[in-house]
Amino acid sequence: MEYYGNKLCVSYRELVDGGIVSACNYNNWVNRGKVDVVRKGGGKGSCALIAVDSLPGSYKDDVRRKYPGGGAVLVAGWVNSNYELDQGAVVFFHDRSKTGVDLPEDKAREYIINASVLNTCIKLYDRAKDYRKLMGEKYDWSMMAEAIEALRAELHHTLPKSTLRFRKKVAQYKKEGYGCLISRKFGNQSARKVDFKTERLILAIAVQPNKPYNTSVQEMYNMFVTGELDVYDPDTGEVFNPDEFTDRNGEPKELSEATICNYLNRPKNRALIEHRLMSFTTFMHEQMPHVHRHAPEFSLSKVSFDDRDLPRKLKDTKARPKAYYAYDVASQCVVGMAYNRNKNVDLVVDCFRDMFRLLDRNGWGCPAQVEVENHLMSQWKDSFLKAGVMFPFVRFCAPQNSQEKYAEQMNGAKKRSIEHKNHLGIGRFYAKDRHYRTEARKIFDEKNDTYVDKQYYTWDELIADDRRDVWEFNHSLHPNQKKYPGMTRWDVLVANINPTLEPLEKSVLARYIGEHVETTIRRNSYCRVQYKDWWLSDVKVIEQLEPNNWKVDAYYLPHEDGTISDVYIWQGGRYIDKLQDVGTFNSADCEQTAEDDAVKLAQQKKIAMFSKWVKDNEIGTVRIADKPLRSDGAHNATGNDDAVALPDVHDDSPENGYSLVCDDWGQKALNDY
């Protein structure tokens, strides 16, 4: 008997050969349509199947007596036809956080099938339970267990064969869920030789300051468990007891070299060991996770600063010149550079000056963000490099974290792509690639640590070479040719200037990174800076000065050739004015040019402005009465009828006020004003 088409069927051979019905009688049933032939016979190995329920009553009873396992076949057929793979079990048994262990794929598949079979059995049980309540019969667990066992080869499940154990597993599954299907041998520590405490001891021995080899770790551990070596905790002074590291028989738990290597080379333990043995910077660069970034879309959105030593040495000092670069992150262009024999503040200031000269010359705004190091920049944290003073955003990179600064990567790119191509001796003496490896000649003297390079250079040679390298680097193709096809770094810089940049605040810029001199406002009109007279922009500037104080601080940012175009004066931390270079004119009339005439007119305008300001703010005169007057204008107490008349403060006569006198040039300047 078998289950076919949701029906319990008996084969033609079982009916005829089993002696239940004759072949002639069977053919008569089929011809008259008295039985339901579920599957017609024909072909090799194929036999006709007849539904048991369609047989006449007496024959149906004969079949059930002859083949008593029909109920189990019926159940097995129902389970097989209603079987569905449980997707919830698939997720559960592949999730370590839920199972608690990493299950092998074959075991996970086995548990998924077991859960799916149990789900089908429980579904049948729930349906049969309602039916049996109505019919008054009991659920046959033995038939269910027999049917499930019959499906073992087909579904490849591993559920219990015993009826009682099967019922127990169903009840446990309904109560505990998927977890009850996992064998207890997973995660069982009973057979484990290296427990948690032993593993931690092995790791503690491995992180000795001398960085012992794995064989040395094994030797020290075995000496400890045999009592030949004492191990203690240096923080607490506790001495470890070898008796705590024994097997179940009380014997010392000795470990092989393979076991030691296995535990020391586990990724989890490897990271912990490296953390103890490596320096902070080495561990950070080799083991620590790091952030992943992409470049901004616009130029000058972020500028990164960093210093470096030029790779070749000087003839005079055998030292390397120091360079400081400012890189635009979006275009990778060098937008500022400076050189010095020492890494000092002057080097940084010169780099800022060079960058701002470039920005001012091209009419670009102030960078939105700068990325700087702590070593030389920290002195300006509360002034020039405070966010919002000059730059909207300022980032101070962590010390010794070269991977954080974008300029570090650009220094390497410039060195490998341009400098290595153009010059000799560019590389590292420890480089693995022979094309990038440099060599030096050793001097065998009493120090035994002196090396001489093949060639040395002058200061002017090295600086000129580096400036040419910077120009070539800026005008070479941008690395991202997919995004910027055919464009150089400089093309990307110019074409993608951030439209939201603020204009340069030159007064603030000059105060922090410009040259500084103390000077005095003379004759209410000019200051002397670098042996030149610089005029106030307006006479009203003197109204901002402190009482009895004509001393001011003058700041200016010189050009590459040392000339000055803008001078700003401050007093007591307050910005006062931007001075003007009016110039001087030839005192000999016969030699005066049109330029002299323009300078003379500009100076006369300044004088006329001052004269007008004095006139507009002229102080009126008063006369002092011999005797006090009453406020109501009545006679005083003495009866003197003489009243004191106050002069007209608007009287322009020389006796009562200031008389303005000017020549023809002055009158022309006053009229123009």
- Secondary structure of 404-417 as H, E, C letters: CCHHHHHHHHHHHH
pTM flag (> 0.75): no
pLDDT digits (tens, 9 = 90+) for 114-150: 888 888 888 777 766 554 543 445 566 776 776 677 6
Query: Is residue 225 a contact partner of residue 242, using CB atoms and an 8 Å limit?
Result: yes
Mean local confidence (pLDDT), 140-162: 74
DSSP for 253-271 reads ----HHHHHHHHTSHHHHH
Q: What is the DSSP letter of 502?
A: B
For position 668, what pLDDT does the model report?
Answer: 56
pLDDT digits (tens, 9 = 90+) for 628-658: 655 555 555 444 444 444 444 444 444 444 4
User: Taking 70 as the threshold, does the pLDDT of residue 592 lie above it?
Assistant: yes
**What is the SS3 assignment for 497?**
strand
Q: What is the DSSP letter of 179?
A: G
Integer CA distances (angstroms), 79 to 146, 170, 178, in order: 12, 15, 20
- Secondary structure of 645-668 as H, E, C letters: CCCCCCCCCCCCCCCCCCCHHHHH
Q: Which residues pair with 551 in a beta bridge?
A: 520
Q: What is the DSSP letter of 610?
A: H
Distance, C-alpha 619 to centroid of its chain: 67
- Distance, in Å, from the CA atom of 221 to the CA atom of 213, rounded to the nearest integer, reads 12
- Distance, in Å, from the CA atom of 306 to the CA atom of 408, rounded to the nearest integer, reads 7
For position 97, what pLDDT does the model report?
Answer: 79
The end-to-end CA distance of the chain, in Å, is 122
- Distance, in Å, from the CA atom of 673 to the CA atom of 664, rounded to the nearest integer, reads 14
The amino acid at residue 283 is F
User: Taking 80 as the threshold, does the pLDDT of residue 627 lie above it?
Assistant: no
Of 443, 404, 406, 216, nearest to 303 (Cα)? 406
Kindly state the tokens that stand for 603: 């100076």
Query: Is residue 245 a contact partner of residue 198, using CB atoms and an 8 Å limit?
Result: yes
Of 514, 508, 511, 494, nearest to 559 (Cα)? 514
The amino acid at residue 574 is R
Mean local confidence (pLDDT), 387-395: 91
pLDDT digits (tens, 9 = 90+) for 243-255: 888 887 888 888 8
